[in-house]
Structures are given as C-alpha cells and as structure tokens.
Amino acid sequence: MKRNSPGLITFLVLYAAGLTAFYSTTTTLPEPTTANFTEAQERDFHIAAVPLRQKRATLAIVVTSLAEIKAGEVDPAAIGFLLPEGHIDVQVPGHDLNQVTVLERHPDWQLVEYRFSNAHNSVSRYRAFTDHIEPVSYRSYAGAQALFPAIGLLIAAALLSWFINFVWRQVAGAEA
C-alpha cells in the first residue's frame, strides 16, 4: 500500500511554527540598557533640542545623538534641551518616524522619551536640563528589518519541507 507524502501540509506546519517562534522573540521588548552604553547605542540614542536663536514663531526641533554630544559636535550654547509640553512629531529628512514626549516636568528638568522608527525601532529616555542631558535608558527592537528574516524563514521552510517529502516518498517507495 502506497502512502502519499504530507506535501503542502509539511511546509505550512514548519512555516507557521517558525513564524510563531520568530514573532514571539522579536516582538518582546528587551530590557532597557541603563548604563554603560555601547558606541552603537550612543550613536542611536536620539535627543531632541530647541535652537536658542530661533527667528521663526514655529517650534523647530534639532535632533542629535548622545555620541555627538559626548564628542563635542554640538554647541551647547546654541541649543536648549528643555522642550514644550506634550507630544511632538519631529520632522527629519528621510522616512524616519520620530516622536518626542515630555513624560515628566519638574522645576529644573524634564523626563523625555524619544521614539525612533525606521529599519529598527528604538526608545531613548533622558533627563533634560537647560544645558545638558542625563541618559536614563535605551532600548532597541526589531521593526521593518524583521521582514528579511521572515523571508529567509520562508525559504528554509520550503527547502526543509521538500527534503521531508522527498525522504517520505523514498521510504514509501521502498516499502511498496
């Protein structure tokens, strides 16, 4: 008696199991880093500032990074780190999504959260003072870049499915 191979079912089961495992590991936010930032984290730690010599009536936001501040690439006399209240969408050239929110306001400082989204997502939190910032935490997690491993998983599931079905047919053919 000849048994048929599982065919497409093998692929569907493998791909569904792989996607489930992949999704659960990439959507869980990692614990935030709160000290000893790496060089890459410092470059990706986004900070919003307000130019002190604005001539326009509209609010302009300057985006910088912790690495640029540490390297002295930002003139502290030209910008202030205290922001207006609430949620601010920052317009940066390119296709990035930048959102800044003042989470807490104190007489001398603010707790600010900067959310960056593009090929990856990151959340930078810092205490903003008039002339400096103190990093609080940073976390980075998968965004659109998760599409590429999902495509790789699709190819791997197809190849593994083909191999399982090939072996199944060989074994079934030998028994007949």
CB 140 within 8 A of CB 38: no
Do residues 90 and 41 both lie within one domain?
yes
Read off the pLDDT of residues 61-78 as tens digits, 9 standing for 90 and up.
888 999 999 998 988 788
Structural domain range at position 37: 32-140
CB 36 within 8 A of CB 140: no
Q: Label residue 94 left, alpha or beta by phi (over 0 means left) and psi (-120 to 50 means alpha).
A: left
Number of domains in the chain: 2
Do residues 43 and 71 both lie within one domain?
yes
Residue 5 has pLDDT above 60, yes or no: yes
Do residues 123 and 61 both lie within one domain?
yes
Residue 36 lies in a domain: yes
Do residues 97 and 128 both lie within one domain?
yes
Residue 58 lies in a domain: yes
Do residues 130 and 151 both lie within one domain?
no
Among candidates 20, 41, 23, 22, which has minimal Cα distance to 32? 41
Read off the pLDDT of residues 109-129 as tens digits, 9 standing for 90 and up.
999 999 888 777 889 999 999
As a whole number of angstroms, the distance between CA 21 and CA 13 comes to 12
Do residues 71 and 50 both lie within one domain?
yes
Instruction: Tell me the pTM.
Output: 0.65
Mean pLDDT of the residues in the chain? 80
Residue 104 lies in a domain: yes
